[in-house]
Structure formats: C-alpha cells, structure tokens
C-alpha cells in the first residue's frame, strides 16, 4: 500500500498530516509513504527528515494523489484535490462532512472510501485516534496564553513592596478537552479559575484541577450515550443563561469552548452580558469558527465592546504546528495500523470504528447525517 501526504492548501494551515516519526512506523510495517516536497516545512519537518525514515519525496502533487492508495490530510480536500484522487482510493482527514457537503458529494462520485476523524466514535479502543481531542488540547492551552497576553493585569497574585496584586479571575465555559486544558493552564499561570458545563460528570474533573465548579441545578444531563454534548430543554438554557451572566460580570477572562455535535456553537454570551462585564475584561471564543458562543464574536477578529475584548481565533492548532502535527500524525498512524493486517488495510465494514468514521464508500454516502443533508439540499438546490 502507498500512502500519500500532500501539502495542505487551505490558507493559514501550517500542519502536516504525517510527521517523520509516524512515517518511520508505517514504513517499518511495509507501507510505502510518499510526501509532497515541502509538506512539512511550515511545521519544521524538512524533506530530509522524511527521507531519513524511508519516505519518498515527490514534487508533482497530481502524480502523488493519483498514485496513492491512501491519502492523509489535515484539512478537507478541495474539489480540485478530490478530482486528482485515484478512483477508489482511501482518504483519511478531518472532513467535517456536514459542513462540507459539496466535498462529500464529490468524494462519493469519485468512489473514494473517505474516513472523517471527527466522526470516530468516542470509545476506549479509539482514544489514540481521536484528533478532535488532540487538537482541542492545543486550542485550550493556546487560548489561555492569548488571554494572558491581552489582559491588562497579571494572572498570578503578586506581593510586592508596593502592595498586593490579586490574581486574575478566569471563567471557563465548557469542560471538554479544550476547557479542561484551559483550566489547567490558567491555574498553572496562577489565576483563580471557575468553570461550568452542562454535563454533570465533569464537575469532579474540574475540581480535580483546582477550579471551582458552578452549574445549573437540574435533572437533565447534556452528555449523550456516545460521549458528545446534546441539546437540552429551554428551561435549562434559561437557568444557564442567568448563571453565565452572573459569572461573566464577575470575571476578568472568559474562555468559551462549547460545541454541539462538534460543529454547532450554541449562543451563550449575549451582547448585553458583554456590556455588563468590567472594562478590560477579555473573552476568548474557541467556538468562533462554528459561529461563536458570544453574540459579538467575529471569526478571526478581535472586537472591543464597552472596553471588553472579544477574540475569535481560528485554527489555533495551526499556530503550534510542530506539536499539533505530531499529535495529529500519531492519531492517523494509529488508525491505519489498527486495521493493517497481512500487508493490507482491512476495511472491516462491521467494525465500530470503521462504521463510525466512514463517510463515503463505493460511490455511496454512508454517513447518515450527511446523506440526509444532501437529500434535503438536492430537493432545494446545490449543497
């Protein structure tokens, strides 16, 4: 089998799908790895590092994609890249199929067997393949560094000859992987941290990191059987809105991380809440790319409202490309090797991980939400 690693083409993307460390493992299993020249340069992995572990370097991306049995990417392929894939080849990437229906349709037409890492089920056996968690960890860490840089105060408490400066107060909304990493990083920087989440199970995790948990008193729980967040009743959200408003007004930094289904950002902070925050406060909205948890968030921009900075960063893992690429690459290599049997990739359609991650195969869209969305779009116009 021949794995192809093209250079990422999306603007601002500095990661690479496979780093030399992972290529060495794959080559050691008898898998040929071909890397487009310069694919790892932005994440500080030069071509020579790939050659040293047995990978080949190719200059012609069209030839690379057309000859690969299995293509690995960070971002979804462009329509042009899909057109260059060898018909029937395999693709492994963070596809976000519901957001990229045109790409899903094109992959089906190309008869590509496409796996989306964001659809891998959250089960114990798949933990080492979970790119969402790996990248969320990076984003949570980086969000706190951004907040500390933008806040006009110290994070830790300082006792000086001129008197005491009290620690900054940080409020984290959402205690998934990104939120927990944000809590841990803010605590390491010396802040006083409070956090909330709609899932009851995470209260203990929040407290174990030294933060205070605040939550809505309710019998409802936002954690689904699959481990992802799910929507709750309007009454729950009303109470949650009151709680968030109170906490935002009392904190110097607010970091939001809430997503539903991995792609939808619930609106949690209204414009009125922002106006009641103290001037100089900072909001870092990690859900900016999915619409934002704050009503005033503008993706990729910093907005100032009544002295409050609302920062909507995009693709934070790309800002730390070396470590992000390493973690992402390990996830992909684990996925490939988990199904590597007798010198071939074993496409076991009955396997729970394969079934969950598979989006297109043999000319069909198998990811149920994407299939339904395409059918709806087909009835009303282009996806």
CATH code of the domain covering residue 183: 3.40.50.720
The whole-number pLDDT of residue 377 equals: 79
122 included as an active-site residue: yes
Q: Are residues 112 and 212 in the same domain?
A: no
Q: Are residues 197 and 292 in the same domain?
A: yes
pLDDT, tens digit, 9 for 90 and up, residues 213-247: 998 876 655 555 555 555 667 888 788 999 999 99
Active-site residue, selected from the candidate residues 122, 246, 319, 351: 122
Q: Are residues 162 and 301 in the same domain?
A: yes
Q: Are residues 229 and 192 in the same domain?
A: yes
CB 118 within 8 A of CB 277: no
The whole-number pLDDT of residue 264 equals: 80
CA-to-CA separations, 313 to 60, 152, 214, in angstroms, rounded = 33, 19, 26
Domains identified in the chain, total number: 2
Domain stops at, among 285, 314, 343: 314
CB 130 within 8 A of CB 122: yes
50 included as an active-site residue: no
Q: Are residues 284 and 217 in the same domain?
A: yes
Domain stops at, among 262, 288, 314: 314
The whole-number pLDDT of residue 12 equals: 94
The whole-number pLDDT of residue 219 equals: 62
Active-site residue, selected from the candidate residues 75, 84, 133, 325: 133
Q: Are residues 165 and 296 in the same domain?
A: yes
Domain stops at, among 314, 339, 364: 314
Q: Are residues 280 and 360 in the same domain?
A: no
Low-confidence ranges of the chain (pLDDT < 50): 380-381
Q: Are residues 213 and 344 in the same domain?
A: no
Active-site residue, selected from the candidate residues 51, 69, 86, 228: 228
The whole-number pLDDT of residue 88 equals: 95
Q: Is the dihedral of CA 264, 185, 334, 78 positive or negative?
A: positive
133 included as an active-site residue: yes
pLDDT, tens digit, 9 for 90 and up, residues 70-113: 999 999 999 999 999 999 999 999 999 999 999 999 999 999 99
Residue 85: beta bridge partners?
none
The whole-number pLDDT of residue 227 equals: 52
Q: Are residues 116 and 84 in the same domain?
A: yes
| Residue 109: partners with Cβ closer than 8 Å, 6 or more residues away | 363
From CA 68, how far away is CA 140, in angstroms rounded?
A: 35
The whole-number pLDDT of residue 42 equals: 98
Q: Are residues 362 and 226 in the same domain?
A: no
Q: Are residues 149 and 288 in the same domain?
A: yes
181 included as an active-site residue: no
Domain of 264, in residue numbers: 138-314
Q: Are residues 204 and 298 in the same domain?
A: yes
Active-site residue, selected from the candidate residues 78, 127, 301, 364: 127
């Amino acid at each position: 089998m021949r794995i192809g690693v093209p250079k990422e083409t999306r603007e601002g993307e500095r990661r690479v799908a496979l780093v030399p460390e992972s290529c060495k493992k794959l080559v050691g299993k008898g898998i040929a790895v071909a890397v487009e020249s310069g694919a790892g340069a932005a994440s500080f992995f030069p071509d020579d590092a790939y050659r040293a572990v047995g990978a080949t370097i190719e200059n012609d991306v069209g030839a690379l994609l057309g000859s690969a049995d299995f293509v690995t990417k960070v971002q979804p392929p462009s329509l042009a890249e899909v057109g260059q894939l060898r018909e029937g080849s395999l693709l492994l990437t963070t596809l976000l199929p519901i957001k990229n229906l045109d790409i899903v349709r094109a992959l089906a037409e190309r008869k590509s067997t496409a796996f989306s890492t964001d659809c891998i089920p959250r089960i114990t056996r798949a933990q080492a393949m979970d790119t969402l968690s790996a990248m969320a960890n990076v984003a949570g860490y980086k969000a706190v560094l951004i907040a500390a840089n933008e806040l006009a105060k110290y994070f830790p408490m300082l006792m000086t000859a001129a008197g005491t400066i009290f620690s900054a107060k940080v409020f984290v909304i959402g205690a998934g992987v990104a939120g927990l990493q944000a809590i841990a990083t803010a605590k390491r920087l010396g802040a006083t941290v409070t956090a909330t989440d709609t899932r009851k199970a995470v209260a203990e995790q929040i407290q174990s990191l030294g933060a205070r948990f605040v939550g809505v008193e309710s019998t409802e729980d936002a954690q689904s059987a699959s481990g992802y967040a799910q929507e709750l009743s309007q009454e729950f959200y009303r109470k949650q809105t009151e709680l968030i408003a109170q906490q935002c007004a009392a904190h110097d930094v607010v970091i939001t991380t809430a997503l539903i289904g991995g792609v939808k950002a619930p609106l949690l902070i209204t414009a009125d809440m922002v106006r009641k925050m103290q001037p100089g406060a900072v909001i870092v909205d990690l859900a900016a790319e999915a619409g934002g948890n704050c009503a005033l968030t503008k993706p990729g921009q910093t907005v100032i409202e009544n002295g409050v900075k609302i920062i909507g960063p995009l693709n934070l893992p790309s800002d730390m490309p070396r470590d992000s690429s390493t973690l992402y690459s390990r996830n992909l290599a684990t996925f490939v090797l988990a199904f590597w049997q007798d010198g071939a990739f074993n496409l076991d359609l009955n396997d729970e991980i394969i079934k969950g991650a598979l989006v297109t195969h043999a000319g069909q869209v198998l990811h149920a939400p994407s299939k339904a969305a395409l059918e709806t779009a087909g009835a009303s116009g282009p996806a």
